[in-house]
Chains A and B, each alone.
Chain A
């Protein structure tokens, strides 16, 4: 599970249910080994430090060209669980269906900026206390009902309803009182906020925020009626399903006639299906390098990349010794070379993070960072009374990158005299027993959160997803100042300061952003995915 599922909240790995037990993980590992050995010959593709062949064997981009109209795309996806639902607001939503069936008010464009979806424009009042969204006209749901402001308001109320238990409710509830939403006319939604927030529209780009019809809470999980480019034909939890082109979609008909979704829990089984030509695309699947090389070498399939699709973290619990001391945290960061970890663990397929969790694609990202300095790290440790620091670093087979990353960190930090003991924990309870429990471990998140949500969910004191338990009132106040700042340039500066704050004082080491290696058929054209955005309108198949 795995595969992890998803329900991955704040940018977390989407799949939180480990899709693989130890048994299955072993099977998958064995399978990948067998596969790479059989098909490509033993290339000596060791993952030994520095010895890995560059990821050059894996193509950098999928075949380009325009798709031909029509056709059916077959997607293999990791199921979340038997309790999967089509309700976008639910923690148990079947992620892949959402973008095909629904639209949001606002989405994130390829440049990282907000882009219109069902809202054509939006503006705050002068203090960013009230936001007004002008909604698109002439949009109809799949059942023919026109989309109006009542649906948009209902969607927000549905997310905030305690009975929905939506992960996004924790983000929106402090800002929005569902009783105060106003719809002055059928194409205008007015959202008064409890506290000023100049970034509010970005919070509606989350995949829990897809717009559902007014009053649909009880049925939406099965009907999947939205305004998206595809309408539901069939759906089974953790089973097969099908969506077909919605001819009356407001942005035009999609290229494809239909998409078949198949759920395949085991990652090795998913790539076997691709190699055998049974499916065309593996969604939410970051192939390990051995499997990726096998896929790239086959006639039927190749590898596409979702750039910087996930960010890897070594969170230090700031409530546990020795990480309560900010000097130790700084030393841990200065001690290792992110470029080295990137080279070893990702074979270069990504971008060095330099402990800044804000992805390079985000317009607010700052490039400045302290330099790798083992001597300074040693010095800081000495002052903190932790010379020759020895700590346990937990990893698991939950994700193929965790252990290489831990070993690369271990090797790099050894130069500053830090002794890391890498410990492997069970994959299937990794996120219940290790994450947020052990002082130092390996984890990752999916990128795609807007900066306000990212910093507030993962780094603000008291947040449910604050994996370092870091709590600094000065930092929280800085976040409050930033989100209340209506001047765009000034707000960007404040978010820059916040990033510097995280880099210098926070508990999270962010060695790198990793490209997701996506297994894809050579017939697929127009694949485009970034963050939580997947282009269902434009994707298609090569003509005959």
Chain B
């Protein structure tokens, strides 16, 4: 168990380093740099040269990268090239706002979709299944920004229940953001839930058709007990990885949805940083995304171990 985790942590560190190199190279490959992007049409040669010198963009790329790595190892992620603020604090603020959305989304999407997926699996080919399967197919096919727009039109314009956009900056309090969290979270949850519903349904159907479930039934166990004690743990196994991947996907999906709602989260920060070629901020966000991916997958693996009967029985309770 511990060697397993240790191995995963080492490979995770490798992944992080690799992703930082890739992101750095990708940003270098983008046309333009901070100076030209921020100045836009005012990017006269002398203005660009002055800004480049001020931001030390005139140094070679590899020198700037090694400088960044040196700082990052010591926990110093540098300062934003655009705002001049320390990246750690700035990204942290936006990240906190995004976590609020993520939390609500995951809570609703995961519990809701598991319940729906299981119901669909248990009522296979009957009307609850048809209803849920069709709805989840639609949710899967419609892009999140369309879902977001439809939700805005329905619940902020036609029926003014929620704000259409967030008018506060990144420093908004949780109280200010709370009314604005629901529509973005719903947009993300609808798209995310669709995959989990499909996966949960399929595995429930597989498990319910398996021999040990038939055996359990023959032994006279109640349907409720068969489903909760015997079928579900096995059915959840494959679903776990889908959930993990979807939670990790959130960090990308959030970029589009946050922009539609002007929500001051990490997705919006990422978009503006990429537009501005604000490398230290992009690096920090990429690092966070990589950490989220690694953690989600690690959590899924550990969860799978916990649910796997073979692993559960290994510890002394052998019959």
Contacts and interface: CB of A to CB of B under 8 A. Distances in A.
Interface of A: 1, 4-9, 12-13, 15-19, 21, 23-24, 26-27, 30-31, 34-35, 38-39, 74, 76, 81-83, 91-92, 165, 167, 170, 236-240, 262-266, 268-270, 272-273, 275-279, 298, 426, 428-429, 431-433, 435, 464-465
Contact of A276 (B164, B255, B256, B259): B164
Interface stretch (B97-105, B147-155, B224-232): B147-155
B156 A272 contact: yes
A273 to B, nearest CB: 4
A7 B41 contact: yes
Contacts of A26: 145
Given A24-B271, A26-B145, A464-B45, A16 B164 contact: no
Interface in B64-116: 80, 82-85
Interface in B8-54: 30-32, 36-45, 47, 50-51
Task: Give the residue among A275, A276, A433, A435 with the most B Cβ atoms within 10 A.
Answer: A276
Contacts of A170: 44
B168 A240 contact: yes
Interface string B151-182: 01100110010011101111100000000000
20 contacts: A5-B40, A7-B40, A21-B271, A27-B256, A30-B145, A30-B146, A31-B145, A34-B146, A34-B153, A82-B83, A82-B85, A91-B42, A263-B169, A269-B164, A275-B153, A275-B156, A276-B156, A279-B167, A432-B31, A464-B45
Contact of B164 (A236, A272, A429): A272
Interface in B281-309: none
Nearest to A23: B256
A12 B41 contact: yes
B146 to A, nearest CB: 5
Nearest to A434: B31
Contacts of A429: 30-32, 37
Closest 4 A/B residue pairs (Cβ): A16-B40, A239-B169, A276-B164, A82-B83
Contacts of B274: 21, 428
A258 to B, nearest CB: 15
B83 A237 contact: yes
Contacts of B260: 27, 31, 266, 268-269, 272
A208 to B, nearest CB: 10
Contacts of A19: 275
A429 B41 CA distance: 11
Contact of B41 (A83, A275, A435): A435
Nearest to A79: B272
B160 A265 contact: no
B201 interface: no
A462 to B, nearest CB: 11
Contacts of B42: 7-9, 16, 91, 167
A265 B268 contact: yes
Task: Give the residue among A12, A74, A275 with the most B Cβ atoms within 10 A.
Answer: A275
Contacts of A268: 149, 260
Contacts of B278: 82
B82 A39 contact: no
